[in-house]
Chain A
Amino acid sequence: MKSIMSITTSALCALSIAGAASAQEILILAEDVPAGLNYDGPTAAIPSSQQGMVTLLEPLVGYADGEVSDGVTLPDFNTFEGRLAESWEFDEASLTWTFKLREGVTGCGGATFNADDVIYTFQRAKSVSGAAPIGWFLSNVASIHGFGPEVFGDDASAKELGDSIVKIDDYTVQIKQGEPNALLLPVLTIFGLLIFDKETMEANATDSDPWSHDYVNNTNAPGFGAYCLESWAKNEQITYSSFEGYYRGAPDATRVSVRRVPQSSNRLVVLRSGQADLVTGLTPREFNSIAEVDGVTVAGITGNENLFIHMNFDVAPFDNVNLRKAISHAIPYDQIIATGYFGQATKWEGHVPSTYPGFTASAGFSYDPEIAKTLLAEAGYPDGAGLEVFADAFALSYVAEKESTLGPIVNVIQTALRDVGIPATLNPIPQTQYGDRQLVKRDLPFAVNDQEKPIGVDAGYAVQLFFVSPEKGGLNNMVNYRNDELDTMWSGARVEPDNATRDATLAKIQDMLAADVVWLPVVEYRTQWAFSDKITGLKWYPDNSIRYSDLQIDE
């Protein structure tokens, strides 16, 4: 009997070990695998889908490497480097950028990269034929000529590129802006304008789908990236194999398999067992629990992830600035950092990620319950008297799916607010409902938000995204903040060609945001990964996706 057990156990162990990745193959465990690979498609807003896009497709430009922090290389946001574009020139008089494209670049399908691929990519973006036209959106944000709202009308000519983006020769493309705007190069680094392989895309087009959305949603995203798609089962696994002809050099990891493992505790256990090489999406508690485990490295950086409290200006009593200030002094920032993030966060001192060019540390809110009570009295609610009629407004909403991370934090906030007399309650709601109320209806009165990361790395973009009035060009002013002076200043900064003057204006804007407590910035938390000791070379990008081609694998 004993021998039978022994044989059985050995066989089972052998089967278990059979699953381990070999030296140059890596296994990554994630919350999900791409649900689509189309940045103009229905899954563009999902981080796991963005991860798939940046693995297969390449941008025209990128950021140079900057400093290394905790073993992770950060980008130098002040220095752009060529990717598929080799070099570029800007003519201020005509607002025209001339990009010299890299020669000799090929893709997985065998196509050779040239200007036609760039023209195709922008033409596809301007067709606004996908479910979520992100390519158009980014082009519009960068003021590329002709990428205005008119493309959504019935006039087919409005969807043509015209003279806004022109092929000069096979390896030269010109992009014309409609007005001065510093965001052109930053948006070209973003996943929503990665370059498609025109040849393969057109080969998979149909009469009913001339821009191959179905193909990219469900089959492949053909481009000129470091990896080729080997297999893809949505909701289960995606496997990439390295492209030996990648123009920046063949990646070290020859095969990357990303497996969907919904339970974060299982991702952790499998990493600890040595069968997985890298895991993402653990809770701060879980990252903390394996920080000292032999053979496992936990690395993280303060990038652009943060948590703030959202108070809607259109909902009483949040239109009362003294009440907003009272709340800013009632929040125990250090306790949130300690209990919610296990020390892997810092107090957020502004309204823009502190790593972004143009950030100003203007929001120096401190935890002081006595000051909070004084301000509450000045707001007309001494000890919270009178606030009971706003019970619905004080329901603190947060994304229910993030309960394991946000649960401890919202409980700390609720307790602290009640301590000064503010009758906060908790209101977990599904992600989609949260998004609907935040982005479309804009009627969330009071909420905790940890998912706003301006992917355009620029303080001006962040201001436009969140704080400018919608009628003046604001994109997602979720708290309905309206300030004519700020709108005017931003309009000036948007087209200001002198960077020093632009930064000074943006600094004043950030001071105004802090004075009005437009958001209540709480913490910037570290973006973290846990991986096997054999992996090095991790770099951080503003979209928080890993570039597998960066990874070095020790034998």
Chain B
Amino acid sequence: MLLRYITRRTLIGFVQLFCLVIAVFFLIRLLPADPVSRLVGLNSSPEAYEQAARQLGLHRSLFDQLGIYLGLNPEIAQGLLQGSLGTSWATGSSVGSEITTFLPVTLQLITLAFILAFVISIPVGMLGALNPGKAADKGIFVYSLFAGSQPEFWWGLLFVYVFYFQLGWAPAPLGQLSPMTFPPEPVTGFMLIDTLIAGEPAKFFEALHHLMMPVITLAFILSGPIIKMVRQNMVRALQSDFVLYANLIGLPGKRVARYALRAAMGPSMTLIGILYGFMLSGAVLVESVFSLGGIGQYAIRSVLAFDYPAIQGVVLVITAISLIVYLALDLIHAAIDPRIAY
């Protein structure tokens, strides 16, 4: 039953991705600029312009371009059907290899940030819910409102100033490793994993140290809405009939709280899933502040350069990951909530 559900969702995901590919292909061509101009620069003679347009394949009809992108004309260029996302117009590199470089940076950053935010938010949210109206609850309410309403780049810059420049606790915001450290040979693209694979624990700790501030910054921001969600759902769960019954029959408080938490986790997980999908590109400001070349920065650069293949590639990959995350969440939801069956 579960396998059939996963298969059905995967097939629907492919249909969604295909529709998205077509929509994005045409929508980005409505952007108000001609990408050829960026190439020709001052040398914008008609001959040079035509040469550049030919290089980008823009001399072909729109449907021919779509066919090539989809991989229907592999004799001209490899396309999606051949597993190629094309070549970046801004750098001349393969879009697939660029995404493979940038995406793990963001996944590593936001996954660690979510784990940290989750670890902080669950006990804090529970504490607020178990002590409604008391000082702790009020303090937690103020914190969650405060954390969730602040721009992350501002906190990032402030943390850099205080913890790097003033206190010297954090490393310079110069990326995943010190500029003078040779990175390990990329295997997975995830710096923490690659340093371990390479058997270089010193670089592992250095990478962890460099991730400290961006992860804390992001976790600080993310913890606001998650705490609020956990607290509210816990309060609702604590007022539900099954909890009242559990209290009446004299079950220990800890066990009752565990039951309530399980009921509260469903909606909270949904929020975390939505936030995770959003953060794939939404972490761009934190990436920028800490000079982490992540997928968000790649997306922004691609849009500003009107780099159509890169934009298409980023949208496709982020959507695919979001669909996978949503599917995983549904499965986790089912595991948490016995009422859900497939």
Q: Do A and B come from one complex?
A: yes
In the complex, A233 has a CB within 8 A of chain B: yes
Q: Are A439 and B37 in contact (CB under 8 A)?
A: yes
Known contacts A132-B43, A273-B164; A19/B172 CB under 8 A: yes
Contacts of B89 in A (CB 8 A): 42, 131
The answer to whether B37 and A440 have CB atoms under 8 Å apart is yes
Contacts A133-B51, A152-B51 given; does A435 touch B38 at CB 8 Å: yes
Distance in angstroms between the alpha carbons of A214 and B87 in the assembled complex = 11
B50 part of interface (Cβ distance < 8 Å):
yes
Q: Which of B41-57 contact A (CB under 8 A)?
A: 41-45, 47-52, 55-56
Cβ–Cβ < 8 Å partners of B35 in chain A: 432
**A128 in contact with B93 given A45-B41, A235-B298, A262-B297 (CB within 8 Å):** no
Task: List residues of B (73-127) whose CB comes within 8 Å of A's CBs.
Answer: 88-93, 98, 101-102
A439 CA to B31 CA, complexed, in Å: 17
Q: Number of contact residues on B: which range applies?
A: 35 or more
Which residue of A15, A128, A131, A272 contacts B92 across the interface (Cβ within 8 Å)?
A: A131
Q: Quick one: which of A1-32 are within 8 Å of B by CB?
A: 9, 12-13, 15-16, 18-22, 25, 27, 29
Given the known interface contacts A131-B55, A131-B56, A433-B33, the answer about A440 and B40 at a Cβ–Cβ threshold of 8 Å is yes
Q: Does B206 contact A (CB under 8 A)?
A: yes
Q: Which residue of chain A has its CB nearest to the CB of B46?
A: A149
**Interface residues of A, Cβ cutoff 8 Å to B:** 9, 12-13, 15-16, 18-22, 25, 27, 29, 35-36, 38, 41-45, 128, 130-134, 137, 149, 152, 213-214, 217-218, 231, 233-237, 257, 259-263, 265-266, 269-270, 272-273, 275-276, 401, 430-433, 435-437, 439-441, 465, 475-476
10 A-B pairs closest in CB distance: A19-B178, A217-B92, A433-B33, A45-B41, A436-B37, A152-B47, A436-B33, A137-B43, A440-B37, A131-B55
Q: Does B248 contact A (CB under 8 A)?
A: no
Verify if B306 is at the interface (C-beta below 8 Å from A): yes
Inter-chain CA distance A436–B33, complex, in Å, is 6
Question: Is the pair B91, A234 in contact by a Cβ cutoff of 8 Å?
Answer: yes
Q: Can you give 15 contacting A-B residue pairs, CB < 8 Å?
A: A16-B169, A16-B171, A19-B180, A21-B180, A42-B38, A42-B88, A133-B43, A218-B92, A266-B289, A273-B172, A432-B35, A432-B37, A435-B38, A441-B34, A476-B42
Within B137-162, which residues are at the interface with A (CB < 8 Å)?
A: 157, 160-161
B291–A257 CB distance below 8 A: no
CA distance A152 to B169 in the complex (A): 58
Task: Give the residue name and chain of the A residue nearest to B306 (CB).
Answer: A432
Contact status B43-A475, CB under 8 Å: yes
Chain B contacts of A236 at CB under 8 A?
175, 293
Q: Determine whether the beta carbon of A430 is less than 8 Å from that of B33.
A: yes
Contact B33 A15 (CB under 8 A): no
Residues of B within 8 A of A44 (CB): 41
Minimum CB distance partner of B287 in chain A: A262
Give Cα A351 to B169, complex, Å: 51
Residues in A neighbouring B160, C-beta threshold 8 A: 266, 269
CA distance A181 to B21 in the complex (A): 52
Query: Which residues of B sit under 8 angstroms from A261, Cβ to Cβ?
Result: 173-174, 291
Question: In the bound complex, how far is the Cα of B43 from the Cα of A149, in angstroms?
Answer: 12
CB within 8 A of B40: which of A152, A234, A401, A439?
A: A439
Task: Pick the residue among B161, B170, B171, B175 that contacts A237 (CB under 8 A).
Answer: B175
CB-based contact A15/B206 at 8 Å: yes
- Chain B proximity of A22: nearest CB distance (Å): 8
How many whole Å from A148's CB to the nearest CB in chain B?
Answer: 9
- From B55, B180, B289, give the contact of A25 (CB < 8 A): B180
Contact A18 B178 (CB under 8 A): yes
A431-B182 in contact (CB<8A): no
Q: Which residues of A contact B209 (CB under 8 A)?
A: 12, 15
Q: What A residues does B52 contact at CB under 8 A?
A: 131-132
**B224-238 to A contact mask, C-beta < 8 Å, 1/0:** 000000000000000
Choose among B31, B55, B165, B206 the residue that contacts A269 (Cβ–Cβ < 8 A): B165
For the complex, give the distance between the alpha carbons of A131 and B161 in Å. Answer: 42
Instruction: Identify which of residues 160-191 in chain B touch chain A, using a CB-to-CB cut-off of 8 Å.
Output: 160-161, 164-165, 168-175, 178-183
Best-surrounded residue of A25, A43, A432 (most CB of chain B within 10 A): A432
Complex: A439 Cα to B45 Cα, angstroms: 10
- Assess the A43–B42 pair: CB atoms within 8 A: no
> Complex: how many Å from CA A464 to CA B102?
42
Q: Is B329 engaged at the interface, CB distance under 8 Å to the other chain?
A: no
**What is the CA–CA distance of A130 and B51 in the complex, to the nearest angstrom?**
9
Do A152 and B50 contact each other (CB < 8 Å), given the known contacts A257-B180, A432-B306?
Answer: yes
Given the interface pairs A15-B205, A41-B92, A262-B297, the reply to whether A235 lies near B172 with Cβ below 8 Å is no
A237 and B305 contact, Cβ closer than 8 Å, known pairs A261-B173, A436-B34: no
Q: Does B193 contact A (CB under 8 A)?
A: no
User: Within the complex, what minimum Cβ distance (angstroms) separates A221 from chain B?
Assistant: 13
How distant is B259 from chain A, measured CB to nearest CB, in Å? 36
Judging by beta carbons under 8 Å apart, are A401 and B304 in contact? yes
Known: A19-B179, A128-B51. 9 other contacts (CB 8 A): A12-B170, A12-B171, A16-B171, A41-B92, A131-B55, A134-B43, A269-B164, A432-B37, A439-B37
Query: When chains A and B are docked, how far (Å) is the Cα of A318 from the Cα of B184?
Result: 58
Residue of A132, A259, A441 contacting most chain B CB atoms (<10 Å): A132
B252 at the interface (CB under 8 A from A): no
Closest to A131 in B: B55
Bound Cα distance A114, B118 (Å): 64
* A465 touches which of B42, B56, B305 (Cβ 8 Å): B42
Contact among B169, B178, B289 for A13, CB-based, below 8 A: B169
